[in-house]
Structure 1
Amino acid sequence: MEQRPYILAETNWKNVKSQDYKVAILPWGATEAHNYHLPYATDNYQAEYVSAESAGKAWAKGAKTIVLPIIPFGVNTGQLDVDLCMNMNPSTQYAILKDVVDVLSRHKVNKLLILNGHGGNNFKQMIRELHIEYPDVFVCTLDWWRSFDPHTVFDEPGDHAGELETSAVMHIRPDLVLPLSEAGDGAERKFKIRGLKEGWVTAQRQWTSVTKDTGVGNPALATKEKGEKYLKMVTDEIGDFLVELAAADLDNMYGD
C-alpha cells in the first residue's frame, strides 16, 4: 500500500517534522447499531474514508492537510437500551475536542475541520466556546453527507442505515455488509405532536420507540455503484473546500 503522508496514523516523525501543515481534519463518528445488515462502525468507516479521500485530493493540489485518528464514539443518549450502542456525552466530547485543539495550537496548526459522521453529534456550540480560549485556531465542522445533495444519486436516501449509508458502506467495506434480504425495512414512527413531527421543534428521540430494526430509511435500492458515485462527489467537494481553507488568511476571512 502506498504511504499517505496526509494520514497521521500512517506517517512518521521524520516526515511530520518537515511539514508545515495548514489544516487538520478530525473525523468523528459513532459506534451504534445500523439496522441488521450494516456494521456498528458504519459512521466511523464513512468518516475515515471521506476524510482520507478529501485530504488526498487537497494534498494533490498542494494543500498541506493532515488527517487525525478518528474519535469512534458519538452522542447516543437515545439508544442506551440498544445493546452495546456506545454513548459519549457532549460534555465528554468537548473535553476531548479541547485537548485536540490545545495540541494544534501548541504546534501552530491553526485550522481544524471536524468531519462529522454521525447525526447525533453537534459541535456548533463547542466551537463557540473553543473560540474564547483558543482564538488562534479556526475550528469548523461539517456533516459529510450534507456536502452534496444526496437526491442527485439516491431515490430515498434515508436517515440512518438507509439507501445512502448502505450504498456508501457497500463501496467502502463490502465485506461487512450482509445481503439486503437480511435487512429490515427501516420503517420510522414519528412524534405525534405536530411541531416535533414537522421538525421545527427538536427533542431527543427514544430510538427503540422510533424503529424496530434500528434503521430509519429503506435500504432496498442501495447499490455499490451509487455509493461510489456519491462518495466521489462528496470528496471532490470537501477536497476543494480544504484547498480554500488551507490558503485562507485568518486575518482576512470576510468580504462583500
Structure 2
Amino acid sequence: MIRPYILAETNWESLKEERFDLAILPWGATEAHNYHLPYGTDNIQAENIVASAAKLSWEKGKKVIVLPTIPYGVNTGQKDIYLDMNLNPSTQLAILKDLVTVLNRQGIYKLLLFNGHGGNNFKPLVRELGLMFPKMFISFCFFPQMFDKSNYFEEKGDHADEMETSLMLYLRPDLVLSKEKWGSGGERKFRIKAFSEGWVWAERQWSKVSADTGIGNPEFSTREKGERFFEDICIKMDALFCSLCDADLDDLYE
C-alpha cells in the first residue's frame, strides 16, 4: 500500500494538489556495526522510526512528508575501517543547501533533520543554513538522547551496543548474525582523563578504540527490548511532528 506521507512512495497524482507543513529528512550512515549488524543499521533505524511516527501524525490529519534517507554520514575517524563511507561536514552542508532551496522555493518552511548516526553534527550546519534561508525553521534530533536508556537496557554503549542490537532484532532480525558472532564491544579510552570527563573532545580513531568496531556490550539484547524502545520513540516523535506542524513561525516563544 502506498504511504502518502513517504515521498519515495507517493506520486504526482497525489502531490499536485497537496501541501505539506513539515518535511522530515532522515540521515544515517554506512559503516561497520560490530561483527553482527549490517552496515546500514543507522539508515534502517532512522527510516523505520520516522515512517512509523509520520503514520501516527498523518492519521491525525497532520501534513508531514518524509524525504528519502541520506545513507552516508560523517565517518572521518573510521577511514581505515573497510568500506565505512564518509561525507565531510562541508559536503553535508552542500547537500542540505540544495534540498532546503527546494523546500524554501515551494513554501515548505519547516524541516526536521532526523539523525540516526552519532558522527553527524548538524548544529553548525543549521546555524549556517539559518542565515542563508531566513524563512526556514530547521531543527534536528538524535533519537538515542530521547530517553534514559538505562530504563530499557542493561549495558551502556554508543555503537552496535545493546540498544542498536535490540532495535535491529525487532526491525530486521534477518540481518542480524547469530549470537556466537557478536563481539564484546569493548572500548579503549583516552589515557588523558579530561577526555573521558566530557569537557574536552577529540575524534576517536575507531580501529584503535574497538577491536570489533562496536562500543558497548550487546550480550543482553532482545527483540522485546527493541520493540518497547521503538514504540516509545515513535510516540514521542509523533508528538514532535504534530507540534512542529501546528507551530506558528511568527510566534514560537512563550
Q: Distance in 2 between matches of 1:149 and 1:216?
A: 18
Q: Distance in 2 between matches of 1:148 and 1:49?
A: 18
Q: Distance in 2 between matches of 1:150 and 1:5?
A: 32
Residue 159 of structure 2 aligns to a residue whose secondary structure is coil
The answer to whether the 8 Å contact 1:147/1:238 transfers is no
Normalised TM-score (structure 2): 0.98
Note the 1:1-256 alignment, pairs <5 A: 2-255=1-254
Instruction: Tell me the matched-pair count.
Output: 254
Normalised TM-score (structure 1): 0.98
Percentage of matched positions with identical amino acids: 54
Q: Distance in 2 between matches of 1:132 and 1:143?
A: 23
Letter of the structure 2 residue corresponding to residue 21 of structure 1 = F
Q: Distance in 1 between matches of 2:54 and 2:97?
A: 22
Q: Distance in 1 between matches of 2:156 and 2:68?
A: 28
Runs of 4+ in 1 over 2 A off after TM superposition: none
**Stretches of structure 2 lacking an aligned partner (at least 5 in a row):** none
RMSD: 0.8
Change (3 A) 1:193 1:157: closer
Residue 77 of structure 2 aligns to a residue whose secondary structure is coil
What is the CA distance between 1:119 and its match in structure 2?
Answer: 0.2
Letter of the structure 2 residue corresponding to residue 143 of structure 1 = F
Q: Distance in 2 between matches of 1:122 and 1:16?
A: 32
Residue 65 of structure 2 aligns to a residue whose secondary structure is strand
Residues 97-142 of structure 1: CA deviation (Å, up to 9, x unaligned): 1111000001111100000000000000111111111011100000
The answer to whether the 8 Å contact 1:148/1:237 transfers is no
Residues 7-53 of structure 1: CA deviation (Å, up to 9, x unaligned): 00000011112221000000000000000000000000001111111
What is the CA distance between 1:157 and its match in structure 2?
Answer: 4.2
Residues 205-255 of structure 1: CA deviation (Å, up to 9, x unaligned): 000110000000000000111101100000100110100100000000001
Q: Distance in 2 between matches of 1:150 and 1:62?
A: 31
What is the CA distance between 1:169 and its match in structure 2?
Answer: 0.7
Q: Distance in 2 between matches of 1:61 and 1:194?
A: 49
Q: Distance in 1 between matches of 2:156 and 2:17?
A: 43
Residue 142 of structure 1 aligns to a residue whose secondary structure is strand
